[in-house]
Amino acid sequence: MLIQRTRYSSTVPNIIKPDFLFVIFSFLFSLLSCNSANFQNQNNTAYTTSVLSKLQKMSPDDSVGIFTLLDSAHRNLPDPGPGDRFLLYSYTRDYFTHKKEYDKALLYIDSMLLVIHGRETEKGYMGDYATALLLRGDILLAQKHYDEAFYLLYQGKEIVSHTNDPCSYNDYNRRLADISYVQKKYLQALKYYKDAFDELSQCYDNNPAAKFAMEQAFLDNIGLCFSKLDMDDSAIVYYDKTLQYIKTQQQNYPTQDYVLAARAVVYGNKAEILSRQGNDSAAENLLKESIRINSSPNHAIEDVPYSEAKLAALYLKEARLTEASQILQQLKGHLDKMPNPDVLMNWYRLEADFYRKTKNIEKGFDYLKTEETLEDSLEDTDEKFDQIDINKEFKYTQQEYQLASLRQKDERKNFYLIGAILCSGMALIIILLILKTYRQSKKNVTALTALNEQIRLKNDELQETMYALEESQRYNAQMMKVMAHDMRSPISSIVSLYDILAHDSNYTTEQKELLDLINTSALNSLQLITDTLRFKALSEGMRKEPVDMQALLQYCVKIQEPKAARKKQKINLNAKEVTVSGDREKLWRVFSNLINNAIKFSHEGSEINIDMQVQDSSVTVSVQDNGIGIPNELKTKIFDMSAEAKRLGTSNEHSFGLGIFICKQIVEAHNGKIWFESPDGKGTTFYVTLPLS
């Protein structure tokens, strides 16, 4: 059964063996095999499914019956497809894995790989290929062939990364989580377990039993990680979440024996925390209930020794020696039937503690020496595995794996690199042209000032000079508009080229950074061109008409909601039916800009509130965010067309400092007023007041 259980007592730490992890992996695959993507590649889905259903109902000890049915299925399978053979071989592999006959299990994994040979990169088989590699890596881990195992895990990871399938990522993250847990890297294991749990929300909807088994196990495992990190409150929270999940979702699992066993395992884990917190009475009740449930037939009998060891430790802690002696005898009986070196080592320690409390120091010392000898033996066995840094192993494997492929792809990557450099140069030239135009505009303003002084002194030249200035201004504005439109097309082409190039994942880190820099520069250039064109539009006059402010604000919110959703933000609107006289497009621009800024400068998951207050002759709209606020040094410059007002958003969004300046011009052109309030570090509220029609 897929139940991750603690192998620790309140007195002696132990570690979960790789063999135990492998049993979990193999159980998962057998549970999920009916949900495998390769069903679409079968020729006899109904027949194979019926055989697997019969096999899963048979006892693992009935080897004669199991292989008789398998032989019959292979002989009688009409026109078998790759998917049929794959699942039948997978079940046989699972059988030998449970028996810990790993060499035979490897033979059947090789058979699984053989039936899909040549189809590994096809969409219908890629996930199956990754699964087979990961399962082979599991067995090699159990056999302590670490180098080959990690190479296979890395290959599986590479394939998973190309499928974009959350279920495949779940398979991979489960392995990393369990390996990290074995190596006592509990923070790392915690992250992988949480990732695996989140990915399950998109997996196995057509196999609720598998989904139930894994989700309750991951919740319990997260609690175990918190327990090992001495974060008892968090551990209790996740144990309670597990129990609540089992209670609400148990109908999805067809076998209630499994549900009871799962609940009993969580009882044992939670009891350990309660005992540490001093709530021994509640801990004792949970441990007794856990032992009672899992001592029943068809339950998790292998978990009973763990709970018995914890109960014995609790009795010794409370000096209840008679009860401790009874439970220790009971525990030894179970260990004689089900050998378990970890729990046996704990039993020796508990016996030593028992005889110490009964003043039989000599006998207690003998048990303690035996326990230490067994502990040294276990530590020596797992020392190499515990010292392995899986991230370093993957990095080393990745270097070898990529070295071969780089030789084949070098010429194509050089071509892309040259293209990227050319695009970067084009983007840089465009930016320089825009800056040059802006500086030229500033020079024109200076020239106009000088001309105005000459006009004051030379009244006779006034009309002629003014006419020349107006022509110059119109020409410059027209040129800016033409240039902006002309530059938009090549920059858009750069963005499109980036999208094409980005589909190829065969880049070095440096090349990816160059491509991302090109894309960011192009997008920023497009935004700057848009703001420039909007600034130009301010001088084109107003087309006033009756404007329904409620409908306008609703439209603005609807347009901005996808952007807010990407940052997990919520936009709240409170508006009334009010009509003002104004230019609909320009007013839309004002409120869209204010809402966009609120999204940009607010943190993920925050709320943005838009409110409307109607007075006798005016209406005031406020846009409130809960973001980073406006620093004191920028408050006097926020409405200026100044580079100093530019800031990055909370997700590093760029700003060009023109938006608020344009808003101010539009509002004042409507005889309105715009202002803001921004307490230190408590977000910002912008207010816009407009006269009613």
Q: What is the pLDDT of residues 202-228, one digit of tens each?
A: 887 777 877 888 889 999 999 999 999
| 413/529 same-domain check | yes
DSSP 58: S
| 551/681 same-domain check | yes
| 597/682 same-domain check | yes
The residue that leads in pLDDT, 665 or 183, is: 665
Query: Among 144, 164, 184, which residue terminates a domain?
Result: 164
| 362/402 same-domain check | no
Query: Among 164, 198, 223, which residue terminates a domain?
Result: 164
pLDDT score for 100: 83
Kindly report the CATH number assigned to the domain that includes residue 323.
1.25.40.10
pLDDT tens-digit readout, 599-638: 988 999 999 999 999 998 999 999 999 888 888 888 888 8
Locus of tokens 């194509």: 412
The residue that leads in pLDDT, 250 or 330, is: 330
Pairing of β 618-624 and β 579-582 = unpaired
The residue that leads in pLDDT, 490 or 292, is: 292
pLDDT score for 374: 76
Q: CB-side exposure of 462: number of CA atoms within 13 Å?
A: 5
User: In this model, does residue 34 exceed pLDDT 50?
Assistant: no
| 388 part of a folded domain | no
Distance CA 644, CA 657 (A): 8
pLDDT tens-digit readout, 282-329: 999 999 999 999 888 878 888 899 999 999 999 999 999 999 899 999
Kindly report the CATH number assigned to the domain that includes residue 107.
1.25.40
pLDDT score for 465: 66
Find the largest Cα–Cα distance for the chain: 122
User: In this model, does residue 456 exceed pLDDT 60?
Assistant: yes
pLDDT score for 69: 87
| 9 part of a folded domain | no
**In the chain, % of residues over pLDDT 70:** 78
With CA atoms as reference, report the closest residue to 564 among 609, 623, 605, 594: 605
Averaged over 466-481, what is the pLDDT?
64
The residue that leads in pLDDT, 375 or 486, is: 375
pLDDT tens-digit readout, 493-550: 787 777 777 777 677 878 777 777 677 666 656 665 665 665 555 555 678 899 999 9
Range of the domain at 192: 175-254
Distance CA 48, CA 85 (A): 9
The alpha carbon of 128 is separated from its chain's Cα centroid by a whole number of angstroms, namely 23
3-state secondary structure of 177: helix
| 250/262 same-domain check | no
Structurally, the chain folds into a number of domains equal to 5
> Mean pLDDT over all residues of the chain?
79
Query: Among 208, 226, 254, which residue terminates a domain?
Result: 254
pLDDT tens-digit readout, 114-147: 988 888 777 778 878 888 888 888 888 788 776 7
Token pair, residue 439, equals 């500086």
| 143/213 same-domain check | no
3-state secondary structure of 692: strand
| 410/363 same-domain check | no
Is the sign of the CA dihedral 361, 364, 368, 370 positive or negative?
positive
Number of C-beta neighbours around residue 481 at 10 A? 14
For 656, phi then psi, to 5°, come to -110, 0
pLDDT score for 33: 44
- When mean pLDDT is compared across 83-92, 136-145, 185-194, the lowest value belongs to 136-145
Compute the chain's Rg from CA coordinates.
35
Token pair, residue 254, equals 């067809």
Q: Is the pTM of this model over 0.85?
A: no
Q: What is the dihedral of CA 684, 690, 692, 693, to 10 degrees?
A: -140
| 147/245 same-domain check | no
pLDDT score for 306: 92
* Per-residue pLDDT band at 168 (split at 50, 70, 90): confident
User: In this model, does residue 435 exceed pLDDT 90?
Assistant: no
Listed as own residue / partner, the contacts of 557-563 with beta carbons closer than 8 Å and 24 or more positions apart are 557/595, 557/610, 559/592, 560/592, 560/595, 560/596, 560/599, 563/596, 563/599
| 634/600 same-domain check | yes
pLDDT score for 62: 84
